[in-house]
Amino acid sequence: MEERQKMTQVKVFRFDPHVDKYPRYETYLTPFEEHTVLDVLKYIYENYDSSLAFRFGCSGAGYERCGACSVLVNGRPVFSCKKLAEEEMTIDPHPKFEVIRDLAIDFDRKVKMVKKLTPPIKIIIDPEKCDGCRDCVLICPLNVYEIQKIDGRGISVPIDMASCCGMTCNQCAIFCRNSAIKIEAIT
C-alpha cells in the first residue's frame, strides 16, 4: 500500500510582463517532505499548470556551475535544486534580476532591489589564503563578489551579500582552490 505524502500549500509568484499588468500569487497543494523546492515546482508544472516558468539546470546532482534555479523561499535567497521544501512556502523570483516570466529571471538584466534581503549567513574570506584568482567571481551566478586591491594585492570581497544564496549554494567555498572562503550560518 502506498504511503500518503504530507501536503502543504505553496504560494508561487506569477507574472508575465508582456501580458499582466501586476504580479499575483497562485496557491497550489503539493507534497513537501523529502522534496526540494525544485521538486515542488516540477510537481506544480506537471500536475497543475504547465505554463509555470522557472529555471533549472543541474537539479542538484553534484557541484555543477549553474545557479539558474535561484529563487526566494519565504524571503530568503536559495537554489531551488538544493533547498529542502518546507511547509507553507512562498516562492518568489530573485529580486536582483529582471523577471522574464514567473520565476524565470534574466541574469543579464539587473534591477535595483526594492527589498533588501538579509540572508542568515556570513561570508568570511581569509586574506592570507586568498590569491585573487577570481574563481569566486566567475562561479557566483548572482555577482556577490569582486576583486579589490587591498595592501597592494587582489583580494576577493563580498559586495552584495543580500543576494547570496548562502548555505544552499556554497559554490564559492567549494570551488575556492585555497579554501579562503567560508560561509557560516548566523544563529
The dotted CATH code for 121-185 is 3.30.70.20
pLDDT of residue 8: 92
Measure the CA angle with vertex 19, ends 93 and 49; round to 5°.
60
pLDDT at 59: 47
DSSP 60-79: TSS--S--TTEEEETTEEEE
User: Considering the entire predicted model, what is its pTM?
Assistant: 0.73
Give pLDDT, residue 3.
59
Residue 121 burial by Cβ neighbours in a 10 Å radius (0-12, 13-18, 19+): buried
| Domain residue ranges of the chain, discontinuous segments joined by + | 7-110, 121-185
CATH number for 7-110: choose from 3.40.640.10, 3.40.50.1580, 3.10.20.30, 3.40.50.11740. 3.10.20.30
Helix (H, G, I), strand (E, B) or coil at 108: strand
Q: Give the residue ranges of the chain where pLDDT is below 50.
A: 1-2, 59-61
* Residue 116 pLDDT: 60
Q: Cα(first)–Cα(last) distance of the chain, in Å? A: 41
Do 121-185 and 7-110 have the same topology in CATH?
no
